[in-house]
Amino acid sequence: MRLNKLLAERVGLARRKCDAAIQAGEVAVDGVVVTSPGTSVDPDRAQVTFRGERVALVPPDIYLLFHKPLDVLVTWSDPQGRRTVKDYVPAGMPRLFAVGRLDSDTTGLLLLTNDGALAHRLAHPRYEVPKVYRITLAYPPTEAQLDQLRAGVDLGEDERSRPAIARVTGQRGGATTLELVIAEGKKRQVRRMCKTVGLYLTALCRVAFGPLALGSLPEGKTRPLTAAELSALRRAVAGPPDNSGTLGDGSGVREDASRGR
């Protein structure tokens, strides 16, 4: 493994910062300072130190459920100094990756992990892991608009959404709450779907991802997954991918979503 990649994974720095640290003589391998970021090292045996501190040989697998607030970027670092998910994880964590991105203006559930194999399967569209969104609308949807969402809509740019589950779950004052369940993750998909059918949303929150539910976790907080949640995630992507192109009845997803509110 390249030294800069190992350092990025184990220390949590962006790759360019790892390169700079290595070139500045802040990294040693087996007691010898190395200044070439591309130096090949054995990740299981090499004793690497960063600024005098020993870097763990094999980081433990970490699985965190995170309630992302508004205006937080789903990345580990930002050159402009904006808030990122790294600002909310416990100190000393290795670099973690988000499974399924959320825009800065969308809140809700994110899974953060360093388990690359599981993250890849969960994010792969072939496994159709359902995602549940709570949408706040300025105006109530018509039945025709809901039917469009349920049938799938043309998103433009040669993209079309698959059939979704859509239902009104509440009304308060002038606002309407809509629950939308999809099993894909195109760029800004929920917002594009709503815009296509003429719905004006004022807030968007992901409340469930597969078997995970946001529950009562406060904004900006993380918690480790339970053993049962982790087992359920692994079961969700254990078999061959679902190529049916349908979402199913979504009953289990709706149950999770109700717990997330």
One domain, residues 43 and 65: no
pLDDT, residue 241, reads 59
Residue 105's φ and ψ, nearest 5 degrees, are -95, 15
pLDDT of residue 12: 67
Residues catalogued as catalytic: 103
Q: Are residues 141 and 185 in the same domain?
A: yes
Give residue 123's pLDDT. Answer: 86
Give the model's pLDDT for residue 13: 75
Q: What is the pLDDT of residue 179?
A: 98
Clarify whether residues 66 and 158 are in a common domain.
Answer: yes
Range(s) of the domain holding residue 208: 60-261
pLDDT for the residue numbered 244: 53
Say whether both 19 and 118 belong to one domain.
Answer: no
Residues 243 and 201 in one domain: yes
Buried b (16+ CB within 10 A) or exposed e, 121-144: bbbeeebbbbbbbbbebeeebeee
pLDDT at 92: 75
Q: Taking the C-alpha atoms of 43, 49, 53 and 57 in order, what is their torsion angle to the nearest 10 degrees?
A: 10
Q: Are residues 77 and 32 in the same domain?
A: no
Residues counted in the chain: 261
Do 130 and 26 lie in one domain? The reply is no
User: What residues pair up with 48 in beta bridges, in sequence order?
Assistant: 29
Q: What is the pLDDT of residue 240?
A: 66
Judging by beta carbons within 10 Å of its beta carbon (0-12, 13-18, 19+), is residue 51 exposed, middle or buried?
A: exposed
Q: What is the pLDDT of residue 253?
A: 36
153 and 190, same domain (yes or no): yes
Quick one: 24 and 132 in the same domain? Answer: no
Residues 176 and 102 in one domain: yes
CATH number for the domain that contains residue 125: 3.30.2350.10
d(CA 14, CA 80): 13
Q: How many domains does the chain have?
A: 2
Show which of 12, 28, 54 is a domain's final residue.
54
Pairing of strands 107-113, 154-156: unpaired
- What average pLDDT values come out for the chain (261 residues) when binned by 10 residues? 85 84 94 93 87 80 95 92 93 84 94 91 87 96 97 92 95 91 91 96 96 96 96 87 51 35 34
**E-only strand ranges, 86-236:** 97-99, 107-113, 131-137, 154-156, 159-160, 165-172, 175-182, 201-209, 212-213, 222-224
User: Can you give the CATH number for the domain in which 38 is found?
Assistant: 3.10.290.10
Same domain, yes or no: 74 and 22: no
Looking at the structure, tell me whether residues 134 and 18 fall in a common domain: no
